[in-house]
Amino acid sequence: MNGVLVLEDGTVVRGRGFGGEGEARGEVVFNTSMTGYQEYLTDPSYKYQILMPTYPLIGNYGISSEWFESDRIQVEGFVVRELCREPSHGRMEKRLDTWLEEEGIPGLEGVDTRFLTKKIREAGVMNGILKVPYEEGEIEELKEEVRRMQSISDVDLVEIVSVKKPVVHQGEKANKTVVMIDCGVKMSIIRSLVRRGCRVIRVPARAKREEILGYNPDGIMVSNGPGDPKRAGYIVDTIKEIIGEEIPLFGICFGNQLVGRALGGDTYKLRFGHRGGNQPVKDVQTGRVYITAQNHGFALDAESLGDEVDVTHINLNDKSVEGIKHKSLPIFTVQYHPEAHPGPWDSDYLFDEFISLMERRGGSKR
């Protein structure tokens, strides 16, 4: 099959289609990880986005469901330089192109992904339409349609990816209860807590204060998720209501932005975002630098944060906020992903710090 990607600035990129047939519409973004295509294809934070890895060879170790971050592919479309059709791995269940075809997700290969990455870095992320197959006579119409597409900031994507009713995750020896406000959580975050003896109660993004506190949690987490944090004001309102309970609160990625907004801060859209497993982050308290896994297109404005909030981590590439901590309340957040998957495990210790914080505070048990 033939395929085409049309960007809102009029750029037309042709290639070979694979996976599902049809159209994919969304914001075109790139990821710099060298491995982990299964993890980022199933990451709910990629909703309403067409994903392009910068690493040229994709699919070489096939697909294994044990590495999924959700129960389905979350990206709208997939663009690669070279698709491997003869993968090899002992745990492989199927090929990448077979998986995309089963889930109806269109892919495009044979594309100059370096050209597209440079374009996005210079011009910023932009909307696109990926169509497989296509006719040449459709190009002008596709150009018009992509210019009329909604911005990612105009859509509440959290409602789409959040659970609709509470779900409990726990191992054999659970001795702490963590309520997870699910904005599109990666399963690796939940697994990281379960391994540490937590009973994780995953609640819908619109769960109210009374429901969350009704579980008598030792700690509360606000997860990663897709889209613009300004569209999720209902979660910010809930966070504001539970802050006064002084229950340990940990936010990751989108959760960092929402907690920051609840503490009086503002957020803004990054030019092309941070997506990949090689982002350098500095702990400003210790001076130590960590290589981190990231996936976000928005960030907290450091100048908007009040006197009660310290910026604890910064991105060394652009000095954007990568972590905050409240001076008197048991609240801390990070913009990057300590659970990695894919990416380095340098920051896995943050889950241990959350556990220690719950132990020191004694949870909300009264």
User: What residues make up the domain containing 95?
Assistant: 2-149
CATH of the domain at 336: 3.40.50.880
Last residue of a domain, one of 111, 132, 149: 149
Whether 264 and 308 map to the same domain: the answer is yes
271-286 pLDDT per residue, tens: 999 999 999 999 999 9
**Domain for residue 289, yes or no?**
yes
Whether 127 and 192 map to the same domain: the answer is no
Last residue of a domain, one of 114, 149, 184: 149
Whether 185 and 128 map to the same domain: the answer is no
Last residue of a domain, one of 99, 118, 149: 149
Count of domains for the chain: 2
Query: What is the three-class DSSP state of 361?
Result: helix
Whether 185 and 315 map to the same domain: the answer is yes
Res 242: pLDDT: 97
253 included as an active-site residue: yes
Whether 245 and 129 map to the same domain: the answer is no
Whether 93 and 232 map to the same domain: the answer is no
Whether 16 and 138 map to the same domain: the answer is yes
Per-chain mean pLDDT for the chain: 97
337 included as an active-site residue: yes
Q: Any idea what DSSP says for residue 44? A: G
Res 362: pLDDT: 78
Q: What Å distances lie between residue 49 and 26, 153, 191, 226, 331, CA to CA?
A: 4, 12, 25, 9, 31
Q: Which of 274, 296, 313, 337 is catalytic?
A: 337
Whether 355 and 208 map to the same domain: the answer is yes
Whether 162 and 245 map to the same domain: the answer is yes
Whether 257 and 169 map to the same domain: the answer is yes
State the amino acid at position 301 in one-letter form: D
**Domain for residue 366, yes or no?**
no
H helix or E strand, kind and range, residue 39: helix 37-41
84 included as an active-site residue: no
Q: Which of 8, 253, 274, 322 is catalytic?
A: 253
CATH of the domain at 83: 3.50.30.20
5-64 pLDDT per residue, tens: 999 999 999 999 999 999 999 999 999 999 999 999 999 999 999 999 999 999 999 999
Predicted TM-score (pTM) of this structure: 0.96
Peptide bond into 53 cis (omega under 30): no
Whether 295 and 190 map to the same domain: the answer is yes
Q: Which of 8, 76, 322, 339 is catalytic?
A: 339
How confident is the model over 204-222, as a mean pLDDT? Answer: 98
126-181 pLDDT per residue, tens: 999 999 999 999 999 999 999 999 999 999 999 999 999 999 999 888 999 999 99
**Domain for residue 294, yes or no?**
yes
DSSP E strands, 186-301: 198-203, 219-222, 249-252, 267-283, 289-300
Looking at the predicted structure, is the pLDDT value of residue 93 above 80? yes
Is the Cβ–Cβ distance between 21 and 106 less than 8 Å?
Answer: yes
Whether 239 and 354 map to the same domain: the answer is yes
**Domain for residue 228, yes or no?**
yes
